[in-house]
Amino acid sequence: MADNAANINTNGQGPKKVSSDGVSVEQHSVKDQIEADRYEQANSAAKSGPGIRNRKFRSRGPVF
């Protein structure tokens, strides 16, 4: 994940579109790169384990 943040930072400082010798290259917008990084982080967090567990509450004493 940190590697993606470094790539986004580097790409944000460079040009969006470059052409040389009849070949042109265009990268995704910084907004799209950030959204892709967030999507990746959300997927890895979901795969890491259960987030919220539902437990049945048991009272240890009388309920008034």
Between residues 8 and 2, the one the model is more confident about:
8
Q: Determine the Cα–Cα distance for residues 7 and 49; give it in Å rounded to an integer.
A: 27
User: Which of 37, 32, 29 minimizes the C-alpha distance to 12?
Assistant: 29
Give the model confidence (pLDDT) of 6-57 as tens digits.
787 787 778 888 899 999 988 888 888 888 888 888 888 777 776 677 788 8
- Note the pTM of the prediction, 2 decimals: 0.55
Q: What is the pLDDT of residue 63?
A: 64
Residue 62: φ, ψ to 5°? -70, 145
Q: What is the pLDDT of residue 29?
A: 85
